[in-house]
């Protein structure tokens, strides 16, 4: 697992925010708390914090209900450009949670 750099932080935060905006527009789901978290914890801090819980977030459950798993943090961290910043166990959890729906 690589340590996130400042250079990677800004694009990762943008990648976090884009699905949240799409969730609101396309699935009528407004993940208010999730939108606030990157300002408080940074992008990678937010992702790690949510994944360390080991259970689906409310936002994730909302997106599954709307059949939009592709808009979740759990799918985002599986992308090749971001997965190197997450542990093997965190990635295994996201794959289990998403069930290949990314």
Q: DSSP letter string over 49-85?
A: HHHHT-S--HHHHHHHHTT-GGGSHHHHTTSTTTGGG
5-9, 21-25, 59-63: range with highest mean pLDDT: 5-9
Number of domains in the chain: 1
pTM of structure: 0.84
| pLDDT tens, residue by residue, 64-95 | 888 888 888 899 999 999 999 999 999 999 99
2 pLDDT more than 80: yes
- Between vectors from CA 22 to CA 20 and to CA 57, what angle results, nearest 5°? 35
87 domain-assigned: yes
Range of the domain at 44: 6-98
Burial class (CB in 10 A: 0-12, 13-18, 19+), 13: middle
* pLDDT at residue number 93: 93
Task: Write the pLDDT tens digit of every residue in 25-55.
Answer: 887 777 778 788 898 999 999 999 999 998 8
Query: Taking a C-beta distance cutoff of 8 angstroms, is the pair 90, 51 a contact?
Result: yes
Q: Quick check: is 1 in a domain?
A: no
pLDDT the model gives residue 44: 96
Taking 90 as the threshold, does the pLDDT of residue 13 lie above it?
yes
On whether residue 22 sits in a domain, the answer given is yes
- Per-residue pLDDT at 57 exceeds 80: no
Domain annotation covers residue 63: yes
């Amino acid at each position: 697992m690589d340590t996130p750099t400042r250079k990677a932080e800004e694009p990762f935060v943008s990648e976090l925010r884009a699905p949240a905006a799409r969730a609101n527009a396309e699935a009528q789901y407004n993940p208010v708390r999730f939108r606030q978290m990157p300002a408080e914890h940074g992008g990678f801090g937010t992702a790690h914090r949510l994944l360390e819980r080991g259970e689906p977030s409310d936002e994730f459950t909302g997106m599954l209900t709307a059949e939009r798993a592709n808009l979740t943090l759990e799918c985002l961290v599986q992308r090749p450009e971001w997965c190197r910043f997450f542990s093997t166990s965190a990635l295994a959890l996201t794959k289990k949670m998403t069930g290949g729906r990314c």
